[in-house]
Chains A and B, each alone.
Chain A
Amino acid sequence: MFYREAGDFKTSYREDNQTFPIRLDRAGYWIALIVAFLVIPFFVNDYWVNAVFAPFFIYAIAALGLNILTGYAGQVSLGTGGFMAVGAYSVYKLMVAFPDVSIVFHVLIAGGITAVVGVAFGLPSMRIKGFYLAVATLAAQFFLVWLFNKVAWFYNYSASGQINAPERTVLGVIVTGPNTEAWAKYLISLVFLVAAAWFARNLTRGMTGRKWMGIRDMDIAAEIIGVNPLMAKMSAFAVSSFLVGVSGALFFAVYLGAAEAGESFGITKSFLILFMVIIGGLGSIFGSFAGAAFMVLMPVLLKNVLVGVLGWPTALAAELEFIIVGALIVIFLILEPHGLAQLWRLTKEKLRLWPFPH
């Protein structure tokens, strides 16, 4: 009943442009933020943070990044895992080399380094399109993982070939290393996620986003009306890789604590993030959240039910997970190529008109 635009008159273009044009949505958004920042941190424990919140938040940043590249700018990438590795190894080197600088800067710089690498691997997109480009990005995936495995400098010549996050603090609170408290892990991931979503939203609603979508929808026409395709594609690669790099840095430093390139950032990771974007919704900020939440929660749920309740072996649950995810991808592409975000939009549209059918 209250879910209406009616009575909520827009008197300026500014109000017309806002992210949530419906009053109830705006309220919901603020409530969600307040709960996320001021309520949940008091209740979370290690299990919830490690199994759900931290991976959800950190993957959501990567999904935002890939969604900008694939969903908004139309360039499919299968190199996300490799770019996450760049973020992880950059932040590791920075943390070790400059222990006095705040980890927040390290994470941002790691994102910047990843952006540079992303642009380098994105340059071929000037000549190669569609699935050709997707396969070309596999070059980034395999090359980067190989690089971090083979060049000992990147893991500071450690015997195991692993990188381990040293203990660092933000405002006196430990956020990395084995002594990190659950709520600290939770909050730092959340802060980065909210900032990432804010930037992504602003970029995609402005002229940058329109240029990206123009290239996605019809690249030749976009160029003829004045979009510089090189700049548009490279900026998409840069922003996308930046976010993916930040995600990789947090994934290693905050979430895992220790990582090895092939295991943590293999091609499976690239697929995982791509699937988040497809299931969540190509070209949607909300979709990146929904997709990440889904892909994090689904295995947890599956594992709890199959392994926890029914007592099945883990290997079997893992195989079923592959099957379910694969099937879901195909089903979504067939039935709703715009993913969960579109389902959500349709539900809201129905709700707005309720109780009338049209």
Chain B
Amino acid sequence: MMDAMNMSTDTNPDSYVTDDGRTIGGVVMDLKNITLRFGGVVAIKDISFDIREGEIRAIIGPNGAGKSSMLNVISGFYKPQEGEVWFRGKKRPPMRPYQVAQQGLARTFQNIALFDGMSVLDNIMTGRLNYMKTNMLQQAIWWGKAEKEELENREKVEKVIDFLEIQHIRKTPVGRLPYGLKKRVELARALAAEPSLLLLDEPMAGMNVEEKEDMSRFILDVNDEFGTTIALIEHDMGVVMDLSDRVVVMDYGKKIGDGTPDEVRNNQDVIDAYLGVAHD
């Protein structure tokens, strides 16, 4: 694990520094010729792109372009019929979604997937589950190891809670929260996992302008302060162009553009398929 990490950061020749001073490293995740079919429907057709260490990578496209399916492939929920997923320089063998999560991927969901029966704190604590190693007997006895571990992880979680400014709702059952806060709690749960790659599925869908600004700020801060690599899907073009380092554009399951926001903006295919319509 450590070797792989060093390889991807140090030995890669094409790491560079962005205008705002962040270092973008080598390729963390490489998707090669992914094809995903549901029965006869082709959701993703032969798509390849990569995600580099430390960058914010956006996947955009009109409705039904296959963006969410792409994210589900990355997080291991869908198994593509063709193509390979390379993570940290190694081909990922077929694995269950929870094993993918154990590799350091965390994500949020388009239709908020929080655990409604639990408090905000417990929801965020679930993000720490890969760090908590006491066995069930130790947990049943509680005194000693289990309690110590619980409190250590609680401290980490409290940092995330502070960071996302949700201290006041710590003990509230998530079912009672308004939409915008739920999105934030979901982000908190993903951040608590200290992921090496964070996947955000439409983090700003259904938010008002103010909430969108907050969320953008959090995304930038996460990337900046922790150096977390982020891949996100978003509808809001303006937000995407401002946030991301590189953008993949999908349409009808195919990749039609890939590059910096400026490159994508000037790509004729993209303008035809998406921007032209969206900016009318």
Chain A residues with a Cβ under 8 A of chain B: 12-14, 17, 199, 202-203, 206-208, 210-211, 213-214, 216-218, 220-229, 235, 239, 283
Would you list 13 pairs from A and B whose C-beta atoms are within 8 A, ordered by A residue? A206-B132, A206-B139, A206-B150, A207-B129, A213-B122, A216-B115, A218-B115, A221-B114, A223-B98, A225-B98, A225-B127, A226-B98, A226-B101
A217 partner, pick from B77, B116, B140, B142, beta carbons under 8 A: B116
Q: How would you classify the secondary structure of chain B's contact residues: helix, strand, loop or mixed?
A: helix
What mask results when residues 102 to 113 of chain B are scored 1 for a CB within 8 Å of chain A, else 0?
Answer: 100011010001
Contact of A202 among B76, B115, B141 (CB under 8 A): B141
B154 beta carbon closer than 8 Å to chain A: yes
Give A220 to B132 CA distance when docked, in angstroms.
Answer: 21
Is B146's beta carbon under 8 Å from chain A?
yes
> Given A13-B158, A225-B106 in contact, is the A207-B113 Cβ separation under 8 Å?
no
**Closest CB in chain B relative to A170 CB, distance in Å:** 22
B117 — which chain A residues lie within 8 A by C-beta? Answer: 213, 216-217, 283
Q: Please provide the chain B residues from 121 to 167 with a CB less than 8 Å away from any CB of chain A in the complex.
A: 122, 125-130, 132, 134, 136, 139-142, 146-147, 150-151, 154-155, 158
B96 interfacial contact with A, CB 8 Å: yes
CB distance from A232 to the nearest CB of B (A): 9
Q: Closest Cβ of chain A: how far from B177's Cβ, in Å?
A: 14
Please give 18 more A-B residue pairs, beta carbons under 8 A apart, in addition to A217-B115, A222-B115, A225-B107.
Answer: A12-B151, A13-B154, A13-B155, A17-B151, A199-B141, A202-B139, A202-B146, A207-B134, A208-B139, A211-B129, A218-B114, A220-B77, A224-B97, A224-B100, A224-B101, A225-B106, A225-B129, A226-B101
Task: Tell whether, in the assembled complex, residue A227 and residue B154 are in contact, meaning their CB atoms are under 8 Å apart.
Answer: no
Interface, chain B (partner A; CB < 8 A): 75-77, 96-98, 100-102, 106-107, 109, 113-118, 122, 125-130, 132, 134, 136, 139-142, 146-147, 150-151, 154-155, 158, 189-190, 193
| B75 adjacent to A224 (CB under 8 Å) | yes
* A216, B129: Cα distance in complex, Å: 16
Q: How far is the CA of A207 from the CA of B136 in the complex (A)?
A: 9
Query: Chain A contacts of B189 at CB under 8 A?
Result: 225
Q: Which residue of A lies closest to B142 (CB)?
A: A202
Inter-chain CA distance A239–B128, complex, in Å, is: 22
Across the interface, which residues of B come within 8 angstroms of A211, CB to CB? 126, 129
Give chain B residues whose Cβ lies under 8 Å from the Cβ of A208.
Answer: 136, 139
> In this complex, what residue of A is CB-closest to B77?
A224
Q: Give the most central of A14, A202, A207, A223: most B CB within 10 Å.
A: A207
CB <8 Å contact, B102 and A226: yes
What residues on B are CB-neighbors of A199 within 8 Å? 140-141
Contacts A206-B146, A217-B118, A283-B117 given; does A227 touch B136 at CB 8 Å: no
- A182 to chain B: closest CB distance in Å? 31
Given contacts A202-B141, A210-B122, A228-B98, contact A17 B109 (CB under 8 A): no
Which of A12, A13, A214 meets B115, CB within 8 Å? A214
How distant is B91 from chain A, measured CB to nearest CB, in Å? 21
Residues of B within 8 A of A214 (CB): 115, 118, 126
Output the least CB separation between B145 and chain A (Å).
11
